[in-house]
C-alpha cells in the first residue's frame, strides 16, 4: 500500500511512476478523496468539542435551577451527539474508501527497473552454462521412456481434473530429493532459516502480501473463509505482520518448502502439456525482511541464492530484469531466472525474485525500531523462488536425457538418492 503523505508531497512523481507501468495518473483523485476525508474528520472533531461544551453547560444549568435552559441544553447535547456519530461514520467510510483505493494501486518501480510494455522488453542481465547439443531430437519430460512410468496425468485427471499429476516411484523420489537439496543448500550455505508454515491462511494474510483484494480469482478459498496459499511468500512474510522488531535483528531470512495452490485463472490454453503449469505444486520459497537501506542489495543476494541451485545442478539458465510492464503488482524490481528446457528448445521461468520495498509492510503494519532511537519505520520485504520444485524436476529430466530414454541425474542429487545416478529407461533408479 502507498504512503498517502508521500503522494501529498510529490503527486507529480507518483503519477510519473505509475505512467512507467502504463497506468493512468491517480494523484488528483486520491488527493481529492483524502481532502474530503480529512475535512470530515475535522468537522467531526469540532462537533465533538461543541458537544462536550454543551454537556458542561447542562450541568451548570441544572445546578442553577434553570429548568428551561437545562432542557434546551440537554436537547442540544443529544443533537450534537447524533451529529458527531453521523460525521464519524462518514469519515470512517471515506477512510475505508481511500484505503481500498490505495490497496488497488500497484507498487512503484525502482529507477533501475527497465522501462517497457511486456515480456518482450525484459532485459537479460546474466547467462550461465551452455545448453547441451544432442545427437538426437530431445524430448519433453513427459515423453521420456524412463519418466512415463512415474508421471501419471490420466490418474490425476480422474482424481482431480486437469492440471494435476501423480508422481510415483523413481520420479517421485527425484522430485523429493530436489526439494531436500534446495532446503539444505539454503540453510547450510545461504544462511536462511528453515521454516514450516500452514498452507491455509486468514484473508488478512492474503491482503498483507497483496494477493487480495485484486487477485482473489487466482487462488482458492475454502467454505469457512480460509485461503490456500499460492506461495509460502504469504505465510513467511506475514510472520512479521503487526510486529515491531529491533533494527539489530534485521535482516530476517526465511526459507520454506510447501505445497502451493493456484487456480491459474486466465491461463486457459497455456502450458497445458506435462507438469509445467499445475493447480497444485511444490516450491521452496525464500523471504527476506530487511532494513530499507539494504533491500536492493538483498535482491541481488537472493537472486544469487536461486541461481546457485541451478549451477549446482548443472542446469543452463539466464536471468532477466523484468520491465515496468511485466513486473508483478507488489514488486519494485524483479529478476526472473529462466532455465533451459531442451524439449521445448527455450528458456522457461523457474524463479522470480522481487523486492517490494515497504509496499507489503504498510499493508501488514510491520515496522522496526531504529537503533539510534526515533519513531518506528516500516521494514522492506522481498520474496523469491528457490526454486519451483516441479519445474526443476522438468529441467533435470530434459537436460539429462539420453537417446535410449534414460536420464543422467546431477551429481549433487546422488546422496539424496541412495547413491543412484541414473533414471533408467524402464523407470527405476540405478
Catalytic residue list contains 262: yes
Q: What was the pLDDT predicted at 313?
A: 98
| Catalytic site includes residue 8 | no
pLDDT value of residue 68: 73
pLDDT for residue 72: 77
| Per-residue confidence (pLDDT) for residue 149, from 0 to 100 | 97
pLDDT of residue 270: 61
**Which residue of the set 243, 349, 377, 421 is catalytic?**
349
Active-site residue, from 37, 163, 262, 363:
262
Mean pLDDT of the region 83-87: 87
pLDDT at 415 over 90: yes
Give the DSSP H or E segment for 167. strand 166-167
Q: Among 176, 277, 296, 312, which one carries the catalytic annotation?
A: 277
DSSP-derived secondary structure for 211-256:
-TTTTGGGSEE-TTS-EE-SSTHHHHHHTTTT-EEEGGGPPEEEEE
pLDDT category at 82 given cuts 50, 70, 90 is: confident
Tell me phi and psi for residue 339, to 5 degrees: -95, 150
Cell numbers for 258, please give them.
510447501
pLDDT confidence tier of residue 294, bands split at 50, 70 and 90: very high
Q: Tell me, what's the pLDDT at 52?
A: 79
- Our answer to whether residue 391 is catalytic in this structure is yes
Of the candidates 352, 354, 385, 406, the residue annotated as catalytic is: 352
Q: State the average pLDDT over residues 116-135.
A: 97
What is the pTM assigned to this prediction?
0.93
Residue 351 is among the residues annotated as catalytic for this protein = no
Is residue 277 annotated as a catalytic residue, yes or no?
Answer: yes
Whether residue 271 is predicted with pLDDT greater than 70 in this model: the reply is: no
In sequence order, the 6+-apart residues with CB closer than 8 A to the CB of 258 are 197, 199, 229, 231, 232, 235, 282, 283, 285
Amino acid at each position: 500500500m502507498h504512503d498517502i503523505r508521500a503522494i501529498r508531497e510529490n503527486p507529480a512523481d507518483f503519477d510519473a511512476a505509475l505512467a512507467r507501468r502504463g497506468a493512468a495518473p491517480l494523484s488528483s483523485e486520491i488527493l481529492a478523496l483524502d481532502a474530503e476525508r480529512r475535512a470530515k474528520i475535522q468537522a467531526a472533531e469540532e462537533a465533538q468539542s461543541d458537544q462536550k461544551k454543551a454537556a458542561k453547560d447542562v450541568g451548570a444549568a441544572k445546578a442553577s435551577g434553570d429548568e428551561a435552559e437545562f432542557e434546551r441544553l440537554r436537547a442540544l447535547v443529544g443533537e450534537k451527539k447524533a451529529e458527531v456519530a453521523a460525521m464519524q461514520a462518514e469519515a470512517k467510510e471515506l477512510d475505508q474508501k481511500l484505503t481500498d483505493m490505495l490497496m488497488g494501486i500497484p507498487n512503484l518501480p525502482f529507477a533501475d527497473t527497465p522501462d517497457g510494455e511486456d515480456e518482450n522488453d525484459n532485459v537479460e542481465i546474466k547467462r550461465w552454462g551452455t545448453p547441451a547439443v544432442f545427437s538426437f531430437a530431445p524430448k519433453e519430460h513427459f515423453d521420456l521412456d524412463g519418466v512415463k512410468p512415474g508421471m501419471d496425468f490420466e490418474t490425476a485427471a480422474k482424481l482431480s481434473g486437469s492440471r494435476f499429476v501423480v508422481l510415483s516411484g523413481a520420479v517421485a523420489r527425484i522430485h523429493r530429493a530436489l526439494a531436500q537439496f534446495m532446503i539444505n543448500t539454503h540453510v547450510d550455505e545461504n544462511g536462511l532459516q528453515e521454516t514450516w508454515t500452514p498452507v491455509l491462511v486468514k484473508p488478512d494474510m492474503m491482503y498483507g502480501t497483496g494477493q487480495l483484494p485484486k487477485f482473489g480469482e487466482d487462488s482458492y478459498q475454502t467454505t469457512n473463509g480460509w485461503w490456500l496459499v499460492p506461495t509460502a511468500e504469504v505465510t513467511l512474510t506475514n510472520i512479521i505482520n503487526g510486529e515491531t522488531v529491533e533494527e539489530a535483528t534485521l535482516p530476517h531470512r526465511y526459507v520454506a518448502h510447501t505445497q502451493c495452490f493456484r487456480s491459474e485463472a486466465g491461463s486457459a490454453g497455456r502450458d497445458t502439456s506435462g507438469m509445467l503449469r499445475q493447480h497444485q505444486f511444490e516450491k521452496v520459497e525464500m523471504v527476506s525482511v530487511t532494513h530499507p537501506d539494504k533491500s536492493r542489495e538483498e535482491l541481488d543476494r537472493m537472486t544469487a541464492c536461486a541461481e546457485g541451485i541451478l549451477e549446482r545442478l548443472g542446469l543452463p539458465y539466464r536471468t532477466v530484469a523484468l520491465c515496468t510492464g511485466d513486473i508483478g503488482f507488489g514488486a519494485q524490481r524483479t529478476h526472473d531466472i529462466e532455465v533451459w528446457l531442451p524439449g521445448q528448445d527455450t528458456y522457461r521461468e523457474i524463479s522470480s525474485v522481487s523486492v517490494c520495498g515497504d509496499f507489503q509492510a504498510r499493508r501488514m503494519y510491520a515496522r522496526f525500531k531504529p537503533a539510534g532511537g526515533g519513531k518506528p519505520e516500516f521494514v522492506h520485504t522481498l520474496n523469491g523462488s528457490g526454486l519451483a520444485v516441479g519445474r526443476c524436476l522438468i529441467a533435470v529430466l530434459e537436460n539429462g536425457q539420453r537417446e535410449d530414454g534414460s536420464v543422467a541425474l546431477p551429481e549433487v542429487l546422488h546422496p539424496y538418492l541412495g547413491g543412484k545416478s541414473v533414471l533408467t529407461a524402464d523407470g527405476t533408479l540405478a
